[in-house]
Amino acid sequence: MRLAVSGGGTGGHIYPAVSVIEALQRTDASLQVLWLGVAGGPEEGVATSRGWQFAAVAAAPVRGTGLHAPLGALTSVLGGLGAARFLRHWPAQALLATGGYVSVPSIVGARLTGVPVMLFLPDVQPGWAVRFSRRLASVVTTTSEAARRWLGGSKVVVTGYPVREAFFRVAREQARGGFGLDERPALLVLGGSLGARRLNQATLRWAPSLLEGAQVVHVAGRRDYDWVREDARLKGLEGAPGYHLHEYLENLPEAMTAADLVVCRAGASVLGELPAAGKPAVLVPYPHAGAHQWQNARYLQEQGAAVVVEDSELDDLLGPTVTRLLADTAKLVEMAKQSRSLARPRAATDMAEALMELAKGC
């Protein structure tokens, strides 16, 4: 099978595609992949490091004021023509689009060349790119029934959020041993692949008191790591028993499995990874990411799997909220149960099978 993929900008758009590709590879060893993305974007590194072909497509937001909107629209039109040119030279049998602005010109290019499109909505609430692109897709897949209600239409299918198989396979004791954790409750703080400054600052503020009864695995992110490490040293956290600082973690399934509670932003990945690991969470929606992070967080809170703390209240509420939850074992167990109930282990497989059906007609 020859599969074109488009999605980028954040892990919430990139890693669902990676999971689906890996599911396809388990049944089709000869699978060929062409990733259409933004030059220099994180998707380029993900694709090339896995041996997949990569083609750069021009893309830009088309919302805004003044000249930004028409210039963005022009860029997307040119990107669509460029994507069509790539797909004429590399005849894909299907395109998997997982969102982000680069998905729009890629889907346009697919339509111009007759390539069927599967569009995946990773968040609960669709952004502009998905709202526009769904009209051009052959099938639209979503994470949850809540997401389906935003889109409507007969071609929308709830598959769940595809995640790596490791989230379902890691043993807890082995994972805790790998991170040097003992029997005390363990908190995992995810500052993102680059860094969430406000979240890192609040974690450093509350870490000394949290360490009195718990352990903290603090993933600062590459952008913030240097200053976080220095601030941790000044606060006496460096080398302190129970404080484990990391710049970035490739083995995120192990880290989540080892934790008793997770603190993070509310990007799309929380809808798949937290349920797959069966973890309760404190979610802090990023206030400048539009409404989608708030909708993701609210959905998990309504399901009983998370507690939401507003970014503006982070400095005051993070420590007390975490302390209260870690001290309430029954509450954590119930939240974990609710989180696990939202998992869809077959999401990647179901999407892979649907893609193979799409490809048969091309």
107-157 pLDDT, tens per residue? Answer: 999 999 999 999 999 999 888 778 888 889 999 999 998 888 888 777 899
E strand or H helix that includes residue 177: helix 172-178
Asked if the domains 2-161+345-360 and 166-341 are classified in one and the same CATH topology, the answer is yes
166-341, superfamily in CATH? Glycogen Phosphorylase B; (3.40.50.2000)
For residues 206-234, average pLDDT: 95
- pLDDT at 67 exceeding the cut of 60: no
User: How far is the C-alpha of 38 from the C-alpha of 9, rounded, in Å?
Assistant: 8
pLDDT band at 353 (very low <50, low <70, confident <90, very high): very high
pLDDT band at 79 (very low <50, low <70, confident <90, very high): confident
**In this predicted model, what pLDDT tens digit does every residue of 144-191 receive, in sequence order?**
988 888 887 778 999 999 998 889 989 999 999 999 999 999 999 998
User: How far is the C-alpha of 263 from the C-alpha of 157, rounded, in Å?
Assistant: 30
Mean pLDDT for the chain overall: 91
The yes/no answer on whether domain 2-161+345-360 falls in CATH 3.40.50.2300 is no
Q: Do 83 and 57 meet the contact criterion of CB atoms below 8 Å apart?
A: yes
For residues 276-285, average pLDDT: 96
Rg (CA), the chain: 21
Structure tokens at 37: 């993305």
pLDDT band at 64 (very low <50, low <70, confident <90, very high): low
- pLDDT at 295 exceeding the cut of 60: yes
User: How far is the C-alpha of 140 from the C-alpha of 203, rounded, in Å?
Assistant: 38
Q: Order across the sheet with 281-283: list the strands.
A: 243-246, 215-219, 186-190, 261-264, 281-283, 306-308
Question: Residue 161's pLDDT is what?
Answer: 95
User: How far is the C-alpha of 358 from the C-alpha of 362, rounded, in Å?
Assistant: 7
Per cent of the chain over pLDDT 70 is 95
In the chain, what are the domain boundaries? 2-161+345-360, 166-341
User: How far is the C-alpha of 142 from the C-alpha of 119, rounded, in Å?
Assistant: 9
Beta bridge partners of 245: 218
pLDDT band at 48 (very low <50, low <70, confident <90, very high): very high
pTM (predicted TM-score)? 0.90
- Non-local (6+) Cβ contacts of 219 within 8 A are 188, 189, 190, 191, 246, 247, 248, 249, 255
Q: What single DSSP character describes residue 311?
A: G
Largest pairwise CA distance in the chain:
62
Q: Which of residues 315 and 75 earns the better pLDDT score?
A: 315
Q: What angle do CA 175, 251, 123 make, to 5 degrees?
A: 115
| Alpha-carbon separation of residue 200 from 188, 197, 270, 352 (angstroms) | 12, 5, 18, 37
For residues 230-240, average pLDDT: 94
Question: Residue 142's pLDDT is what?
Answer: 94
Helix (H, G, I), strand (E, B) or coil at 35: strand
Q: What angle do CA 126, 132, 133 make, to 5 degrees?
A: 90
E strand or H helix that includes residue 116: none
Q: List the helix and strand counts (H, then E) for the chain.
A: 16, 13
pLDDT band at 69 (very low <50, low <70, confident <90, very high): low
User: How far is the C-alpha of 181 from the C-alpha of 214, rounded, in Å?
Assistant: 10
Helix (H, G, I), strand (E, B) or coil at 24: helix
